[in-house]
Amino acid sequence: MTVRRDLVVVGGGITGLAAAWEASERDGVSVTVVEAGDRLGGKIRTSPITLPDGTTLRIDEGADAFLARVPDAVRLCEELGLGDELTSPAVGRAKVLVDGELRFLPARTVLGVPLDLDELEAAGLLSPAGLEEVRAGDDPSEPPLEGDVAIGPFLTGRFGRELVDRVVGPLIGGINAGDVDELSLRAVTPQLADAAEEGGSLAEALRRKVPATTDAPVFHALLDGTGRLVEVLAERLDERGVELRTGTRVERIEGADGEGGLRLRLVTGSGSTQDVEAAAVLVATPAPAAAELLEALSPEAAGELRSITHSSPVLVTLVHHRGDVPAPLDASGFLVPRDAGRFATAASFGSTKWAHWDDGEHVVLRVSAGHSADRRPDAMSDEEVVEAIRADLEEVLGITAEPLAARVSRYPDGFAQYEVGHLDRVERIEAALARDVPGLAVAGAAYRGVGIPACIRQGRGAARRLLGAPSN
């Protein structure tokens, strides 16, 4: 028997779940979410780490926070009744590993672009020659930005290469597990692109847009982990009558006979099949999976989807006795420049950053490795990855003791790389789908933003468009 639904969402990550939440607010709309894996949430996952004494710590495996100033995640938490569970970092400033030492990032920066040159000098991140490049650069007669450019070369022309290598690259490249010399200024750092469109001094344009001081938090987290958002969202969707199907993959999508719409062939883990007809379909899977599903429906969109490159970072969580960590953990963590010769790309001092992770006895560290130009973790076992991370931590933080617990979380081809021209590619994908399959859309971290708020915004917006509701 063929089931008929108003909206089928393919992919049960936060984008797909947010789309289902938006759609289910409308009376009489039937929604099904289909997830190939055995759990919902995608890269959002909070899971327990058990220590030798039986103590259990719930620690995020992926994102441990989301931007506070971007309203989408905060708004969704409030709609779900999670507003009282929001918290902010106890320590906000990070450090950078420079010349073998950890030094604080200046507070007055925008994505690594310094707004206070005296503060930058005091931070000790740049050599005298590098500081002089920054001071001498940023020409007030620069013409307005046109088109798209790579972040690294653009900022090198304004502030010199040393600032890019030691500050901008570790920060932006670390967040995106990518190379700032390839990443798009417009897609990855729209705040910088908007300022550059004004022409003149980039730093001065940013100063006009950024308040001199603010007490508002930059990030929020949930006291029981970001996985709490997924758990409660799934519960509320179930209460609304949304069908949530895990362990079920979509084998194909094709046009339905009769009055339009689309037909999906679903296959469970046991091999049983079912056809579902949908008035609208949102594909909220990673881009490679979306390309496979759309090949027959829109070859042009599928080809563009396949051209999006990806990196495969790993995240290692380590728990130590507090007494086994000799270095002062007086920051939220540290970033690692690519030329530092380290395996790790960044480390978060989790039990310093988050008060609710600090039990007074243990130190929680989350360390990233791997990026678009470093695929070494792919060929390494979990044990080898942990040993490589421990070697870095021994040199940087002086930790020689074995951890009480270690966990490796892998994200194979998990981070889409927004290279120069990325937004134009996304527009071509959307235009091809609008022409070839009007009732189908794509959304998610491969397109218009990688963070939790951006994915929520994309999912909810796609649901409104597909169901004919006005965007806001």
Question: What one-letter code names the amino acid at 388?
Answer: A
211 or 470, higher pLDDT: 211
Report the pLDDT value the prediction gives residue 113, as an integer from 0 to 100: 96
| C-beta atoms surrounding 433 within 10 Å | 22
Residue 422 above 80 pLDDT? yes
Residue 395: phi, psi to the nearest 5?
-75, -35
pLDDT at 209: 84
Q: Is 298 helix (H, G, I), strand (E, B) or coil?
A: coil
pLDDT at 207 over 50: yes
What is the Cα–Cα distance from 119 to 108, expressed in whole angstroms? 8
Percent of the chain with pLDDT over 90: 92
Start-to-end C-alpha separation, the chain: 38
| Reported confidence tier of residue 267, pLDDT bands at 50, 70, 90 | very high
Please say if the pLDDT value at position 420 is more than 80. Answer: yes
Q: Rounded CA gap, 136 and 298, in Å?
A: 50
Of 48, 55, 87, 89, the residue nearest 362 (C-alpha): 55
- Chain mean position to CA 342: 23
Query: For residue 257, what pLDDT is reported?
Result: 66
Q: Collapsing DSSP states into helix, strand and coil, what is residue 382?
A: helix
Of the pLDDT bands very low, low, confident and very high (cuts 50, 70, 90), residue 418 is very high
* Beta pairing class for 243-245 and 314-321: unpaired
pLDDT tens-digit series, residues 231-261: 999 999 999 999 999 999 999 999 976 667 9
- Helix/strand/coil percent split, the chain, to 5: 35, 25, 40
Q: How far is CA 20 from CA 17, 34, 101, 238, 240, in A?
A: 5, 11, 47, 10, 10
Report the C-alpha gap between 348 and 64 in whole angstroms: 10
Contacts of 318 (CB under 8 A, 6+ apart): 364, 365, 366, 367, 386, 389, 390, 393, 403, 405, 406
> C-alpha 54: how far from its chain's center?
32
Between the CA of residue 236 and those of 21, 135, 226, what are the distances in Å? 8, 54, 16
Q: Are 416 and 175 in contact (CB under 8 A)?
A: no
Q: pLDDT tens digits, residue range 171-192?
A: 999 999 999 999 999 999 999 9
Q: Which helix (H) or strand (E) holds 32?
A: strand 31-34
Kindly report the number of other CB atoms within 10 A of residue 323's CB atom.
Answer: 9
pLDDT > 70 in the chain, percent: 97
For the residues of 343-368, what is the DSSP string, one character each?
SEEEEEEHHHH-GGG--SSEEEEEEE
Contact 106, 120 (CB under 8 A): yes
pLDDT over threshold 70, residue 471: no
In this predicted structure, what is the pLDDT of residue 363?
97
User: What are φ and ψ of residue 195, in 5° steps?
Assistant: -65, -40
Burial of 77 (0-12, 13-18, 19+ CB in 10 A): buried
Q: What is the pLDDT of residue 217?
A: 85
For 283-336, write each residue's pLDDT tens digit: 999 999 999 999 999 999 999 999 999 999 999 999 999 999 999 999 999 999
Structure confidence by residue, pLDDT tens digits, 325-375? 999 999 999 999 999 999 999 999 999 999 999 999 999 999 999 999 999
Q: Return the pLDDT at 472.
A: 47
Mean predicted confidence (pLDDT) in 423-427:
98
SS3 (DSSP) at 415:
strand
- Has residue 380 got a pLDDT over 80? yes
Q: Is 461 within 8 Å of 185 (Cβ atoms)?
A: no
Non-local (6+) Cβ contacts of 45 within 8 A are 39, 60, 61, 62, 227, 230, 409
Looking at residue 214, its pLDDT comes to 63
Which residue is listed with tokens 């690294």?
152
Q: Count CB neighbours of 106 within 10 A.
A: 20
Single pTM value for the model = 0.95
DSSP string computed for 43-97: T--EEEEE-TTS-EEEEESS---EESSSHHHHHHHHHTT-GGGEE--S----EEE
Q: pLDDT at position 10, please? A: 98
